Amino acid sequence: MAVTTQNLTSTAVRGMQWTTAATVLTALMQIGYTAIMARLLPPTAFGLVAMTGVVLRFGSYFAEMGLGHALVQRLSIDTADVRATFTASLALGLAVAGLAWLGAPLAVFFLKNEAVLPLVRVQALGFILVGLGATATSLLRREMRFDAIAKVEVVAYVLGYGGVGVMLAWQGAGVWSLVVASLAQQFFAALFNYLVVRHSLRFIFDWAPYARLLSYGGRTSLVGFLEFINGNLDTLLIGRLLGSALLGIYNRAYMLLYLPMYFLTNSLARVAFPAFSKIQEDLPRVRALYLAGSTLIATLVLPLCAGVAVAAPELVGVLLGPRWQASVPILRVLCVAIPLSMTTLLAGVVADARANLHQKVVLNLTFMALLTGLFWSLKGYGLTGIAAAIGLGEVVRTFLYMRITHRDIAIPYWRLLAIYRPGLLNAAAVGLGLLAVATLLRPWQLPTLLTLLALMATGALVLSLVVLRWPTAELHPLLRQAVGRAQGLGLPAGLRAPLTRYAGFLEASANLFGSFDAFAEQSSGLPPELVAEPEPVAHR
C-alpha cells in the first residue's frame, strides 16, 4: 500500500519524538552510570576498555557489510531477503569475532599493553550478538517502529549497564564489569528486538537474495568506513603533526560544539533514512522532504553556532575552566565547519536511500585527500590553521554534496543555496544581539557564569522572537500544531486571545508563502522537466 505524504510525515514526527526521548533518557542514564562506575573502578579500567573499543571499531564496519541497511533501503522485500540478511549477518559476526580473536596479539603490539589481549577477545563476542540482532533491528527501522526501538534501547541499557554492569563492579569484577555490561546490553537489545519482530531464523543458501543485498550493502560499508576515517582524520593528523597537548585542546573545543549539534540532529538522521527509502522513486516528494528538512536544520543550527562563536570565552571558562582558554579561537573557527557538516546530513541520507553510493565514495576520497593537503599546508599556523583547514574542507564538501543532489534529484543550485538563507538571517540576529550584550557586560568583569547565563538568555529570546515573528515555511506546521494544542488546554481568556491572534498570523503568512512559492516556480525559468518529475539518474 502506498504511503501518503501525511502518513509518512506524521510517522516521521512520532519517530523523531520517540528517538529524541530515548536519546535524552539514555544520555542521562549514562551520566549516572558513569558516576557510579567511576566510584567503583579505577581510571585504568576505563582506559583499557577505551583502547579495546578503538581496535574493535574497525571490525564493526565489516561485521554486517551493510546488509541491514540494504534491508531498510529496498522498496520491497520477501522472506528470502530476511533469511539472507539473518544468515549473512550471523556468519559475518562469527567471522569478524574469529578474526578479532586471532588478531588480538596485533592490538597488544600497537597499543603496547598486554592487558588488552583478553579484553579484545572477549569483547569480540559482541560482533556475534550484533549479527544475531541486526535483522530484527533493521526490520523495525524499515517499518518505522521507532517507539519499539526506543523502548528496547532504554530497557537494554538499564538491564545491561545498570543491572549487570553495576552489580559486577560492586562484586569486585573490575574491568570485566565494563566488558560484560557492554555484552549484556547487546544481548538484551538483540533478544527484545527479535521478540517484537519474530522473523524467520532459518538459514538460506540461495545466492540470489545475497546478491541483491550485498550489491548495496558492500558499498554502504565502504562509504561508512571512509566516513569513519574522515571523521577521525583530524585527530590522527593533529596528534602526529602537533602533539598530544594541542590535540587535547582541539578535542575539547570540538566536542563542546559537536555534541549539542549531534543531539539536535541525531533523531532526524535516524528517522530520515527509512522515510526517504520509502519514497525513493517519488522524486517530487523526495525533493520536498529534503528541502524542508535541510532548511529546518540550517534554521536552528546556524544561529546556535553564531551564539556559541560570540559566547565562546564564557562557555570555555564555565565548562572547561580557565586553563582551556587556548581553545576559544578554535571553537570559533569550528562554528563554521560543524554547522556545514550538519546541514549536509540529509544530502548523504538521500544518496543512501537512492543507492547513489558511487558518488559518495568519490566524495569521501576527494575530501580525504583535500583535508590531508589542507592540514599539511596550514600546520604552520598551529591549531587555528588546522581548524581553518577543517572549515575550508567542509565548505568544499558542502558544494560537492550540492553537486550530487543537483544531479540526482534535479534541485537547482539556487534552491540548494537558498536552504541557508533563513538560518543565516537568524544567525545574524542572534550573533548581533549577543555581541551587543557581551560588549555591555564584559567590561564589568562579572562572574563568568553570570555573563554566560545572560548571553544564553539573550540568544534564546532573540531566536524565539525571530522564529515566531518571521517563521519559515518549514516551521509553520510545527508552530500551528503547537498553537492548536495550547488552545485546547482550556487556558484563561487573557491567554487565549493572543494565541488566537497568533494562529491568524500563522494562517495569513502560510498563505503568503504559498503564493510566493507558486510565483517563484513560474518565474524561475526552469525547464519543465525540472519542475515536473525528471528521469532518475542511472546510478544503480
HEC per residue, 509-531: HHHHHHHHHHHHHHHCCCCHHHH
Please state, rounded to an integer, the average pLDDT across all residues of the chain.
Answer: 81
Give a yes or no: residue 341 inside a domain: yes
Residue 168 within any structural domain of the chain:
yes
Q: Which of 184, 205, 226 is the last residue of a domain?
A: 205
Tell me if residue 441 falls in helix, strand or coil. Answer: helix
Which of 474, 502, 521 marks a domain boundary? 474
pLDDT band at 432 (very low <50, low <70, confident <90, very high): very high
Q: What pLDDT is stored for residue 312 in this prediction?
A: 92
Do 242 and 264 share a structural domain?
yes
> Do 96 and 173 belong together in one domain?
yes
Q: Is the pLDDT confidence value at 21 over 50?
A: yes
- Report which DSSP code applies to 303: H
Whether 194 and 235 map to the same domain: the answer is: no
Do 263 and 363 lie in one domain? The reply is: yes
Interatomic CA distance for residues 327 and 332, integer angstroms: 9
**How many residues does this entry show for the chain?**
540
> What is the pLDDT, as a whole number, of residue 474?
67
Residue in 12, 1, 11 with CA at minimum distance from that of residue 290: 12
* Helices 382-409 and 207-241, packing angle to 10 deg: 160
Q: What is the mean pLDDT of residues 404-425?
A: 92
Burial per residue of 294-326, b for 16 or more beta-carbon CB atoms within 10 angstroms, e otherwise = bbbbbbbbbbbbbbbbbbbbbbbbbebeeebeb
Split at pLDDT 50, 70, 90, the class of 110 is: low
pLDDT grade for 434, boundaries at 50, 70 and 90: very high
CB within 8 Å of 325: residues ≥ 6 apart: 313, 316, 317
pLDDT reported for residue 375: 85
Once rounded to an integer, what is the mean pLDDT over residues 100-127?
81
pTM for this model (two decimals): 0.76
| pLDDT, average across residues 5-23 | 73
Mean pLDDT lowest among 338-342, 367-371, 451-455, 518-522:
518-522
Residue 480 lies in a domain: no
Give me the half-sphere count of Cα atoms (radius 13 Å) on the Cβ side of residue 461: 10
Mean pLDDT check: name the lowest of 167-176, 327-336, 476-485.
476-485
More confident residue, 533 or 43: 43
Range with lowest mean pLDDT among 99-103, 325-329, 481-485:
481-485
Amino acid at 374: L
Mean pLDDT (whole number) for 12-27: 78
Asked if residue 531 belongs to a domain, the reply is no
Q: Inform me whether the pLDDT recorded for 134 exceeds 70.
A: yes
Same domain, 150 and 232: no
- Which residue range forms the structural domain that includes residue 56? 1-205
| DSSP 8-state class, residue 470 | S
Per-residue pLDDT band at 430 (split at 50, 70, 90): very high
Rounded CA separation 459/435 (Å): 10
Q: Which three cell numbers stand for residue 462?
A: 532573540
Comparing CA positions, the residue from 370, 377, 367 lying closest to residue 344 is: 367
CA angle 287, 291, 293 (to 5 degrees): 115
| 511 or 378, which is more confident | 378
Let me know whether 163 and 243 are in one domain. Answer: no
For residue 130, tell me if it sits in a domain.
yes
Do 185 and 331 share a domain, yes or no?
no
Q: Is 518 a member of any domain? A: no
Helix (H, G, I), strand (E, B) or coil at 447: coil
4/72 same-domain check: yes
Winning range, highest mean pLDDT, from 32-41, 113-122, 258-267, 394-403: 394-403
Would you tell me the crossing angle of helices 146-157 and 125-142 to the nearest 10 degrees?
150
So what's the pLDDT on residue 532? 38
What are the counts of helices (DSSP H) followed by strands (DSSP E) for the chain? 23, 0
Q: How many domains does the chain have?
A: 2
Q: How confident is the model at residue 536 (pLDDT cuts 50, 70, 90)?
A: very low
Q: Between 444 and 470, whose confidence is greater? A: 444
What does the block give as the cell for 258?
559537536
Least confident of 5-14, 453-462, 508-517: 508-517
- Among 362, 370, 361, 360, smallest CA distance to 405 is for 360
Domain identity same for 330 and 238: yes
Last-in-domain residue among 437, 454, 474 = 474
Distance CA 346, CA 291 (A): 9
Q: How far apart are CA 87 and CA 81, in angstroms?
A: 10
Specify whether 470 is located in the same domain as 321: yes
